[in-house]
Structure 1
Amino acid sequence: MPDKKIPQIKNEDQYEALRDQGYSKEKSARIANTPDQVAGRKGGKAPAYEEWTRDELYDKAREIGLSGISKLRKKELIERLRNH
């Protein structure tokens, strides 16, 4: 049988601090596992969510697996995307 991979957190202290602040397990792990030299860099060249259409925001939310989004307004989609 193949070995199961056990998720590892690279920075346990940071992970626990983020969890204490109310971040999800997924988001805390993603942040805690980001290499320090990458963490301070600005993201890509994508426009701000406010410049996206409601349909584009909806498609992005579906792509990343958010549920309960079909009746959300544009502002609510933006909030969900930023805080997932």
Structure 2
Amino acid sequence: MPDARIKNEKQYQALLEIGYSKEKAARIANTPDAGEKGGNAKPYDLWTKEELYQQARKVGIPGRSYMNKKNLIKSLRPN
């Protein structure tokens, strides 16, 4: 039965099947641009600290308000 809290159920299930945890799969599937293909974004190294912070906020990275730019990039890369 689909979970009403998951915005992109198809992507959520696919992520679970390849081994993502429920928490991480839900976080990814609930981002506003979940499931959209891109590849046009500039590398994190070129983002401002504020842009990195907002992205970290979107994906729900804990402790982001205490992070510097380097740590924000390090936390965002595996997401």
TM-score (normalizing by structure 2): 0.56
How does 1:69-84 map onto structure 2 within 5 Å? 69-84=64-79
How does 1:44-59 map onto structure 2 within 5 Å? 44-59=39-54
How does 1:1-84 map onto structure 2 within 5 Å? 4-5=1-2, 8-9=13-14, 12=17, 15=18, 19=19, 24-25=20-21, 26=24, 43-84=38-79
CA-based RMSD: 2.9
The structure with the largest alpha-carbon Rg is: 1
Q: Percent identity?
A: 37
TM-score (normalizing by structure 1): 0.54
Gaps of 5+ in 1: 31-40
Secondary structure in structure 1 of the residue aligned to 2:60: coil
Tell me the CA shift for residue 9 of structure 1. 4.3
Count residues with an aligned counterpart. 59
Q: Which runs of 4+ in 1 moved over 4 A?
A: 9-12
CA distance in 2 between counterparts of 1:54 and 1:79 reads 12
Secondary structure in structure 2 of the residue aligned to 1:70: helix
Gaps of 5+ in 2: 4-8, 29-36
CA distance in 2 between counterparts of 1:57 and 1:70 reads 11
Tell me the CA shift for residue 11 of structure 1. 8.8
